[in-house]
Amino acid sequence: MNKTNQLNKLSAIRVLYVEDDTETREELQSILELYVAKLYTAKNGLEGLMLYKQYQPDIVVTDIQMPEKNGLAMAADIKAINPEQQIVVLSAYNDVEYLFHALELDISHYITKPISVEHLLNKLAEVFGHMKLAREAKQNRKLLEQYKMLVDEKAIVAKIDAQGTISYVNRHFCELSGYSEAELLGRHYLFCFEDNNQQDLLDDLKKALSENKKWQGILKKRTKGGIIYVVDVTVVAVINVDNEVEEYVALMVDMTEVYDKFERLFLDLQQDLDEHKHYLHEYGRALELGTSLCIIDTDGKIISANKNFSTLLDYRLEEMPGLSLCDLIQDSKDFKDRVLKKVTQQGFSSRVIKITGKEGLQRTLSTVIVALHNQQGEVHSLMGLSHDISESARLSEEIIESQKELIYVLGEVVENRSHETGSHTKRVALISELLALKYGLDKDYAALIKTASPLHDIGNIGLPDEILHKSGKLSDEEFQLIKKHTVLGFQLLNKLDKPLIKMAATIAHEHHEKYDGTGYPAGLSGEHIAIEARIVALADVFDVLSSRRLYKEPWSDEEIIDYMKQNKGLQFDPELVDLFLENIGEILAIRNRLAEQ
């Protein structure tokens, strides 16, 4: 790197310069200001320490001999605040005592007076370059730790040293094997394998590891209690800078239940072992293709993706980096404005999204997006884990169409049962659909909520007329009975194993839960309450407050809006309240269009 490029680095750094000699300070100040992003100057160590605490500069440049507080005393106080702070010492005293004191403070940058400006600028560029490399290294370590944490949380993990001894196991491995961590560490990795009918696999595993290759296969092992379990294992060698094997990392997926079903299915076919293993590998491969991973930056641009994700959208793997995931999603504005914003604020978001692949290929994905943070706690990138539910979504749409007639009939039962309902369910349905769309749910899911919402109070058909239609205030005993309509509605609808009816059952059960966990019947809170129930709850309360009831007069719009604001984050989802207030004009239009005659 030439000197010009090296000095260009200085334009990004902030420097604190401490010097008691006025002439020297002013001369260097006039030069440094031409190169650095920000320069703070002080005439003694006491003043320099105050500026340091206020601005936290990248590099401190200080003289030693100064009044009030000398440079090394100031440096000691700074190191107590930030042990990694980079400090350059300037002094006309080439004294061994000062040098040793500077070394004790972990100060390795020392320039004697008279000062060469070129030497000082080059030193600053050198120090900043080292700082940048150190920060990048820390950031990479942080990202690796997060990836390890993600793998450790979701997978069964073990490490084996170069001699074949188990050196690490995670909690999932202990739970699956029945052994404690202490019982596993130090044992040979083959100690608990079930040898029958898999010696060829074990020989292949050992051969692959001896050649430092990756190995993948299905293995049987025995738990501490002697029970056989089956795992899909991937083992890779970890190589150091000298190209030597340091350890092996094994990632496992519990395939026991799948394997048992497979054996029962083919019990009568008497297939030989080779064909049996072939089908197991094919089944494992099919399971692997079920999960697709994509990493994007905070603007939605794809940083990397696995082969599953690229294949899902009919792209080649090398075509994915640089594409905008937002542009591929059908409702890209909502994805940017709501999903990415929610992930960066709350750490995660789950959505059903419709996405367009290459050549217009349409897919429906169930996606969980998780924020990955750097060492400063800032969101560095986002990881998306997706499952293709396109076929399930298509089939569900067909099934749901056949269930709508049943919903309409049940809705009429609810209306006929309650004298106070009238157009209440129609208004709640339309307002719920509007809020679902504004929240970012796709139009098909919003339509499902609209269709299912009229059954939110279906449990009322199990309540006595004298309580349901009482004009006065309910007693505590009567209110406890009223609360049972949520459970009655759920029990009635949940008997039918149909998607739309299941959604209606969830709404009936949870539409009186509160965001802070103080609702009924189960005391659910936050996103543990289904989104469809949170939406219908807000629409229902709004319409009830707007309407005349036997026990109350309608509230004014101002009173209702104040109530919503006061109960934001308490009774209602705060994001939904914001959307409600932002779209109050459309909501009032729905209410007025379907007003009671």
Domains of the chain: 3-134 (3.40.50.2300), 155-288 (3.30.450.20), 292-388 (3.30.450.20), 398-593 (1.10.3210.10)
8 Å CB contact between 457 and 418: yes
Q: Chain centroid to CA 305: how far?
A: 17
- Res. 504: pLDDT tops 80: yes
- How many residues are recorded in the chain? 597
The better pLDDT of the pair 97, 513 is held by: 513
In sequence order, what DSSP letters do the residues of 398-436 get, joined into one string? HHHHHHHHHHHHHHHHHHHH-TTTTTHHHHHHHHHHHHH
| Region for 381 from its dihedrals, namely left if φ exceeds 0, alpha if ψ lies in -120 to 50, beta otherwise | beta
- pLDDT class for 279, splitting at 50, 70, 90? very low
pLDDT computed for residue 250 by the predictor: 80
8 Å CB contact between 63 and 91: yes
Q: Mean of the per-residue pLDDT values for the chain?
A: 79
Question: Is the pTM value of this prediction over 0.75?
Answer: no
- Res. 168: pLDDT tops 60: yes
Please tell me what DSSP assigns to residue 338.
I
- The CA distance from 419 to 422, in Å, is 7
Q: Token digits for 443? A: 């139009």
- The CA distance from 491 to 487, in Å, is 6
pLDDT computed for residue 276 by the predictor: 47
- Res. 509: pLDDT tops 90: yes
| Neighbour tally for 457: CB within 10 Å | 26
DSSP strand pairing (86-91 vs 59-63): parallel
pLDDT computed for residue 265 by the predictor: 47
The 10s digit of each residue's pLDDT in 180-221 is 989 889 888 777 665 555 566 667 777 776 676 677 777 888
The 10s digit of each residue's pLDDT in 390-440 is 766 665 555 555 556 556 556 656 665 555 455 788 888 899 999 999 998
Ranked by mean pLDDT, the top range of 19-33, 142-156, 179-193, 457-471 is 19-33
Mean per-residue pLDDT for 340-357?
76
pLDDT computed for residue 281 by the predictor: 53
pLDDT computed for residue 270 by the predictor: 42
Q: Among the listed ranges 48-57, 222-231, 563-572, which one has the minimum average pLDDT value?
A: 222-231
8 Å CB contact between 198 and 219: yes
Q: Token digits for 541? A: 């309360």
Q: Give the residue from 334, 316, 318 showing the smallest Cα distance to 326.
A: 334
- Compute the half-sphere exposure of residue 48: CA atoms within 13 Å on the CB side of its CA: 32
- The CA distance from 450 to 436, in Å, is 9
Q: Give the residue from 119, 102, 7 showing the smallest Cα distance to 63.
A: 102
Partners of residue 514 on adjacent β-strands: none
- pLDDT class for 3, splitting at 50, 70, 90? low
Q: Among the listed ranges 60-74, 164-178, 226-240, which one has the minimum average pLDDT value?
A: 226-240
* Strands (E) located in 176-308: 215-222, 228-239, 245-254, 292-296, 302-305
